[in-house]
Amino acid sequence: MNARSPRSLKQLCIEVADSAIALRDDLCLFCTFSRQLGKATLDAIRHPRKIRRYDVYYYMDNCGSDAMPIIALLGFLIGVILAFQAIVQLRRFGVESYVVNLVGTVIVTELAPLVTAVVLAGRTGSSFAAELGTMKADEEIDAMVTMGFDPGRFLLFPKMLALLLIMPGLTIISDVCGIAGGMVIVCSMLQVSTGEYLTKTFEIIQPIDLAQGLVKSFVFAVIVAGIGCMKGLNAERNAQGVGRSATSAVVTSIFLIVVTDAILTSCFGIAS
């Protein structure tokens, strides 16, 4: 087989230009979507009785209850892995007693919010994108606009509010399961009692650490719900477009979650 010929400078410039145009289009779509969602949010604040509570309850159950088992399992396993690796590494320096400090702080401030957000980006963000993309392909959203209904109020705000309400709870569940996973390893490998482990964990985890994880969970909820809805509303009107919008929602959400996590961690580090 003949080797592929290298791209010419002209082709490279065309690809860079296409990427720049796509980025510009995404920014324009984001501005339009943000204005639409902001309008729906302000309307909900001014008129709380207009909030579609049953839609919010439905999405809370769909996004929260169904995701709870996988998040609890992943939190537990991450606690197990983190504790085991910490014991192996810290034992070389004779400071394995600091494993409890490491496990508790890292899980509460970093791993639990991050893992929860990534899981919800994969199952909830893609679900929002596929749902809205299918509605757009079937012209249901156009019908709503024609009849005078605001898609932001009926479709976007309930999803955003539901995720804002359930993400912190799921993060706390991941915290508890992660600490429990670390406890299993520490108590079995270091001959530490459960009472000693829990006492030291409560001493190490400060309110600022818990607040950091919860703040991250709120921000991640906005990212997952916002990107999922935006990609769904701007999907192409065919089956392939719906699939691409769901895939793009997951990839974009995870990328923004990691970038935002790095920024928030830096800000909390400077503040402390």
Does position 264 have pLDDT exceeding 50, yes or no? yes
Q: Is 165 strand, coil or helix?
A: helix
Per-residue pLDDT at 189: 87
Cβ-count burial of 158 within 10 angstroms (0-12 exposed, 13-18 middle, 19+ buried)? buried
Does position 1 have pLDDT exceeding 50, yes or no? no
Does position 4 have pLDDT exceeding 70, yes or no? no
Does position 2 have pLDDT exceeding 70, yes or no? no
Instruction: Round to whole Å and give the CA distance between 66 and 202.
Output: 29
Per-residue pLDDT at 147: 86
Per-residue pLDDT at 89: 87
Single-letter amino acid code for the residue at 123: R
Contacts of 194 (CB under 8 A, 6+ apart): 183, 187
Instruction: Round to whole Å and give the CA distance between 231 and 135.
Output: 12
Per-residue pLDDT at 6: 60
What mean pLDDT is reported for the chain? 86
From first CA to last CA, the distance across the chain in angstroms is: 59
Other beta carbons within 10 angstroms of residue 3's beta carbon come to: 5
Per-residue pLDDT at 272: 65
Contacts of 242 (CB under 8 A, 6+ apart): 129, 130, 133, 134, 137, 235, 236
Q: What is the rounded average pLDDT of the residues 51-58? A: 86
Does position 22 have pLDDT exceeding 80, yes or no? no
Per-residue pLDDT at 5: 55
- Looking at per-residue pLDDT, the higher value among 158 and 4 belongs to 158
The enclosing H or E element of 250 equals helix 239-271
Per-residue pLDDT at 190: 85
Does position 46 have pLDDT exceeding 90, yes or no? no
Per-residue pLDDT at 171: 94
Q: Is 179 strand, coil or helix?
A: helix
Q: Over pLDDT 90: what percentage of the chain? A: 35
In angstroms, what CA-CA distances link 223 with 160, 178, 231?
A: 9, 24, 12
Residue 115 contacts residue 74 (beta carbons within 8 Å): yes
Tens of pLDDT, residues 74-131:
999 999 999 999 888 888 888 877 888 888 899 999 999 999 999 999 989 999 999 9
- Looking at per-residue pLDDT, the higher value among 207 and 95 belongs to 207
Per-residue pLDDT at 238: 85
Which two structure tokens, joined as six digits, stand for 74? 């992943």
Does position 241 have pLDDT exceeding 60, yes or no? yes
Which two structure tokens, joined as six digits, stand for 23? 């980025």
Which two structure tokens, joined as six digits, stand for 155? 């479709």
Does position 19 have pLDDT exceeding 90, yes or no? no
Per-residue pLDDT at 79: 93
